[in-house]
Amino acid sequence: MPPGKEFVRTVIKYDGTKAELRRDLLAVRSALTTDDVATTGAALARRALGLPELAEAGTVAAYVSVGREPGTRALLEALRRRGVRVLLPVLLEDNDLDWAVYEGPDRLVRAGRGLLEPDGPRLGPEAVTSAEAVLLPGLAVDAAGMRLGRGGGSYDRVLARLARAGATPSLVVLLYDGEVIAEVPAEAHDRPVDAVVTPSGVRRFSR
pLDDT (tens digit per residue) in 25-72: 999 999 999 999 999 999 999 999 999 999 999 999 999 999 999 999
Half-sphere exposure of 191 (CA within 13 A, CB side): 20
For helices 18-30 and 3-11, angle between their N-to-C axes, nearest 10 degrees: 150
Out of 5-14, 75-84, 180-189, pick the least confident. Answer: 5-14
DSSP per-residue codes, 26-66: HHHHHT--HHHHHHHHHHHHHHHHT-HHHHT-SEEE-----
How large is the average pLDDT for residues 99-124? 94
Percent of the chain with pLDDT over 70: 92
How large is the average pLDDT for residues 114-121? 94
Given pLDDT bands bounded at 50, 70 and 90, which one contains residue 18? confident
11 membership: H or E segment, kind and range: helix 3-11
Given pLDDT bands bounded at 50, 70 and 90, which one contains residue 16? low
Highest mean pLDDT among 4-8, 124-128, 183-187: 124-128
The answer to whether residue 73 scores a pLDDT higher than 90 is yes
The answer to whether residue 75 scores a pLDDT higher than 90 is yes
DSSP 200: T
Regarding the domain with residue range 3-204, which homologous superfamily does it belong to in the CATH classification?
NagB/RpiA/CoA transferase-like (3.40.50.10420)
Amino acid letter for position 35: D
State the maximum Cα–Cα separation within the chain, in Å, rounded to a whole number: 46
20 membership: H or E segment, kind and range: helix 18-30
How large is the average pLDDT for residues 152-177? 95
User: What is the pLDDT of the chain when averaged over all its residues?
Assistant: 90
In this prediction the pTM is: 0.90
Contact 142, 177 (CB under 8 A): no
The answer to whether residue 133 scores a pLDDT higher than 60 is yes
How large is the average pLDDT for residues 81-104? 97
What pLDDT is recorded for position 1? 38
What 3-state DSSP class applies to 202? strand
What pLDDT is recorded for position 189? 76
φ, ψ (nearest 5 deg) of residue 109: -125, 150
Cβ within 8 Å of residue 67, ≥6 positions away: 29, 114
